[in-house]
Structure 1
């Protein structure tokens, strides 16, 4: 088989796999019924933690489901069913809700734990592909995630079934998220180390340069002094303030280029003659991500941070890059 024919065979196989898995998710939509509502109500009423368990490939999906629940406002963790019978069952209390994943509904490591879950008083929700299975019948709530066939050409390897279980786990997690009113800010609080968390949590005051690092000259100063202040602070601009310390304008690198182009000899100029009056500013409690947007829209690399009309800091694009906001 030549290279071109091999590539075509690979793509044909991929299309068939993706089509079958797409169909599997489509079948789930038709199966949604009151059992899904009951599962959501059980999880919302949980006074403890949501314990997600599964064996083999279902175990991998269970781990992901637990992680998604935990990061979207529903405290959850994964327990390996094999380890549960060797001590980890002590992690589960009567206030918890157990979510068990098993395509067959007959996984021995899980069915063997069911009497113990009941003895503890924990509620049991199962996601299986067989409503008549032992696990389904024993559960307080059963959610059908069955598929007509696996994407595997031998109809053996867990493929469509695991995709369906994964999608249903996401559906449960997001239904709970919406019911709880879980916000983007809430999401960021559980992801403080990621880029998203930084974009939603960091504010201008966390990154700005203040005090001695604030470039500032009084109105009426010779332009030469403004240039020296810009060079000393390295922010690419300086604030210009009146006798009360209120911002009246800014002088930037762009203003300097225009001054050189239009004025020629400017040794006698005052900064007031060539500054940008007002200028682009930002409040200290503004989200850093909003400051990024303002800089990009205005095509500038720095901002004066102003509170009650007075400059209290300076923010440069480099600060935003170092912080990971962009």
Structure 2
């Protein structure tokens, strides 16, 4: 059986001519464009829901193949009997040794296939296979590309939690912390230094001693006798200074006159009796002990609503929705 190369399908005849004398090996990596589900449905020749069996290694015409026998449960498009056979059973043949080749899962899957034996018979090289699993509302198709009508988009990942700031190192045990400066201390000064002494302007200034040098000649005597012109001379005799004025004395107050004595026969009226203190009010009867009111139970916070068991997850469609999506795409594509 002749086998068309996947390179011819992806590049076309003009693309092969552009390669010149270069060789395109089957084991080289194949870069296929990303296709939507609608594009895959239009390109597929067979669309089936089948269970993939245990793969087998088969050598044919000098090429090694990995062959997956399938048990078809449903044919959506085309004829599954047109697929290559292995032991008279429809199979998926994948060329061994392909870099980044498809890895088919075990179990049930939806397969979008070419009927010819390419390097990979999957539409889009690795894209045309979607696992099928059981859900509460029925079977669902998994792993569908984003943008497929009816497929829920996956939520964005949560941002990383902020890193807490490191705590300040604690002072070692037995170490006294330095005392805090007083609130009224001037910055940059030593609180233990004594304050400068300010002279009292009301205190008499001490007499200025004579600063003239001793007279040794007549000319010096004449110079000393001349009055100074720069500043008035200060008196050296303390008697010439004005005397301090003593404080004025306040005469003592006159003695108060004594009160006249009472006559001997004058009787002192007795003090009035203090009013009697009324008896204290009788004690109130004992009140019945207070009864504790029953505590009102605090309602527990409502638990978050559990997702519906039949809700679809991102990348999922029900079997009915998948069939409708591929058949509508083919109808719009004229298939």
Is TM > 0.5 for Structure 1 vs Structure 2? no
- Structure-2-length-normalised TM-score: 0.20
Higher relative contact order (CA 8 A, sep 6+): 2
Greater C-alpha radius of gyration: 2
The normalised TM-score by structure 1 is 0.20
